[in-house]
C-alpha cells in the first residue's frame, strides 16, 4: 500500500522530506517496460491517447479539451522565466517573464511556431491577454522561486515535463515535474499545483513518479515525489518504491480502460 505523507507546507518540512528520502533509488527494467506495453496494447484505441496524473485523478472522466489561457500558460512561461533569472541574477522575475514572452512572440513572427503552440496562441492574442499571461507567470515564478530558495539542497528547474511514448500502443504518458533536487544517483522531484489536493492526489503523484522513471533512459526512479499546494499550505509525498511504481503503472492502464469504455459508450 502507498505510504502517502501529508504535512503542512513549510521550509522545514520540505527540507526534512528531501533529507529523509530513500538514498537507494530503484530502476524499471526492460521487462517492466515490455509488460506495460503489452497491457496498453490490450486496451485498443482508434486514436492516439495522452494520459497524465490529472486524468488518473479523475479516473479517466472526460473534461474540456486543452486550450491555452493565462491559467494554462502561466506554468510554462513561469518555469522558463525562473530558469532565466537563475542564469542571469540581474533579472527580476518580472523582467525574466517579459523576456520569455518576447521570445515566444519572436518565434511566432519568425515562422518557427507550429499551429496550436503557446507561441502561436500568444501571437494571435490581444495585448490585454498577453499582459494577463505575464502577470500570472510572474506570480507563478515568484511562488516557485520562493519555495525553492528555502531548500537547503542544490536544485534546478526541470527543463520539461517527462514524456514517454508506449511502443506500438498509440499512447503518450506525460509526467509533471517543476523542480529537481539531485542527490548523488538519486533525485527528488517537486511538483506544484494550484488549489487544494483532492482524495485522489496520491494516485496522481504515483503516476508522475512512474512516468518520470519510464522517461529516464536508465529507468532509474526518483527516490521521492513531493507535491506542493501553496494556496492550501499542504505538501504530500510518495516514495519511489517498486510497489508504488507498479501501482502507478496500474493506475495509468486503468485510466486508459476507463477512457476506452467511455468512447465505446459514446459511439453506441
What are the pLDDT digits (tens) for 230-254?
989 999 999 999 999 999 999 999 9
What whole-number percentage of the chain has pLDDT above 90? 81
Question: What pTM was estimated for this model as a whole?
Answer: 0.93
Q: How far apart are CA 197 and CA 233, in angstroms?
A: 10
CA distance 189 to 155: 10
pLDDT confidence bin for 159, thresholds 50/70/90: very high
The answer, yes or no, to whether residue 267 has pLDDT greater than 60, is no
What is each CA distance from 263 to 47, 62, 166, 206, in whole angstroms?
10, 10, 20, 25
Residue that has been written with the C-alpha cell 526534512 in this structure: 16
d(CA 167, CA 177): 23
Q: Return the pLDDT at 109.
A: 92
Taking residues 172-199, report their average pLDDT: 94
Cα-based angle 232, 237, 238 (whole degrees, multiple of 5): 145
Res 265: pLDDT: 60
Model pLDDT, residue 261: 85
Picking from 235, 237, 216, 236, the residue whose alpha carbon sits closest to that of residue 26 is 216
Dihedral, CA of residue 143, residue 214, residue 160 and residue 21, to nearest 10: 30
Q: What pLDDT is stored for residue 57 in this prediction? A: 94
Average pLDDT, the chain: 92
pLDDT digit string (tens) for 31-60? 999 999 999 999 988 889 999 999 999 987
Whether residue 66 is predicted with pLDDT greater than 70 in this model: the reply is yes
Exposure string (b/e) for 237-264, b if CB count within 10 Å is 16 or more? Answer: bbbbbeebbbbbbebbbbbbebbbeebe
162 within 8 A of 175, measured Cβ to Cβ? yes
Amino acid at each position: 500500500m502507498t505510504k502517502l505523507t501529508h504535512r503542512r507546507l513549510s521550509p522545514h518540512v520540505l527540507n526534512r522530506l528531501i533529507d529523509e528520502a530513500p538514498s537507494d533509488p530503484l530502476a524499471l527494467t526492460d521487462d517492466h517496460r515490455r509488460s506495460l506495453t503489452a497491457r496498453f496494447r490490450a486496451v485498443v484505441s482508434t486514436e492516439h491517447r495522452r494520459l497524465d496524473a490529472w486524468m488518473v485523478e479523475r479516473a479517466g472522466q472526460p473534461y474540456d479539451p486543452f486550450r491555452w489561457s493565462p491559467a494554462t500558460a502561466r506554468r510554462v512561461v513561469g518555469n522558463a522565466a525562473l530558469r532565466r533569472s537563475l542564469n542571469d541574477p540581474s533579472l527580476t522575475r518580472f523582467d525574466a517573464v517579459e523576456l520569455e514572452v518576447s521570445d515566444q512572440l519572436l518565434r511566432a513572427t519568425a515562422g518557427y511556431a507550429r499551429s496550436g503552440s503557446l507561441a502561436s496562441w500568444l501571437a494571435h492574442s490581444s495585448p490585454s491577454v498577453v499582459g494577463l499571461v505575464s502577470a500570472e507567470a510572474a506570480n507563478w515564478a515568484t511562488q516557485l522561486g520562493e519555495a525553492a530558495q528555502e531548500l537547503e539542497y542544490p536544485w534546478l528547474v526541470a527543463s520539461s515535463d517527462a514524456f514517454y511514448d508506449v511502443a506500438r500502443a498509440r499512447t503518450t504518458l506525460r509526467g509533471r515535474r517543476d523542480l529537481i533536487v539531485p542527490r548523488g544517483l538519486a533525485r527528488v522531484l517537486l511538483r506544484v499545483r494550484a488549489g487544494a489536493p483532492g482524495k485522489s492526489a496520491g494516485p496522481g503523484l504515483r503516476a508522475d513518479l512512474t512516468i518520470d522513471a519510464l522517461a529516464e533512459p536508465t529507468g532509474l526512479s526518483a527516490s521521492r515525489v513531493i507535491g506542493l499546494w501553496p494556496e492550501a499550505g499542504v505538501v504530500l509525498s510518495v516514495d519511489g518504491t517498486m510497489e508504488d511504481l507498479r501501482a502507478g503503472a496500474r493506475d495509468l492502464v486503468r485510466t486508459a480502460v476507463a477512457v476506452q469504455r467511455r468512447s465505446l459508450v459514446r459511439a453506441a
